[in-house]
Structure 1
Amino acid sequence: GVTPSEENIADEKYELARSLFIYINAKKNPKEAFDFAKIYMSDDLAKSGGELEKIGLVPLSDDKLKASQKHIEDRKILNDELVKAGKVF
């Protein structure tokens, strides 16, 4: 079997690990929603060595983090098509 190491979790090889998704309602308070998302996905929190890793979460790869940050910067709204296409990051 695959051991639950940080590397196997990050590479999605460990099947019991799951990604943590944060969904925000950008329609009600778009500025506040995107401000929150920027903070949550900031390097200080989400990057390797960041605060989220310090509390036990496995950080995204640098590529996935940068892609997520770009989605937020571009104010890209998640929709069914993106999810079905596997283009969440």
Structure 2
Amino acid sequence: MMDDIAKTGVAAQELTQFVERVERLEEEKKAISDDIREVYAEMKGRGFDVRAVRQIIRIRKQDHSERKEMEAVLELYMGALNMN
């Protein structure tokens, strides 16, 4: 592979394209992250509990059966600790 890069420059060109793609995607990711932060700030400004909303978003990402299983375990543990 190193010989390819040194002799032809073709692999170097391909590598450059990959690196540039990753850099563009990282820029897009940062922009999206900034947008999400702004939405949370707006929610907070409107009186919503951002921690609760973040938890809801985590829960909504879970598979239904996975969520039910976690809820059952949580309920079991809370019962064992007399937290019900």
Which structure has the larger Rg over C-alpha atoms?
2
Q: TM-score under structure 1 normalisation? A: 0.26
Whose helix proportion is higher, 1 or 2? 2
Q: TM-score under structure 2 normalisation? A: 0.27
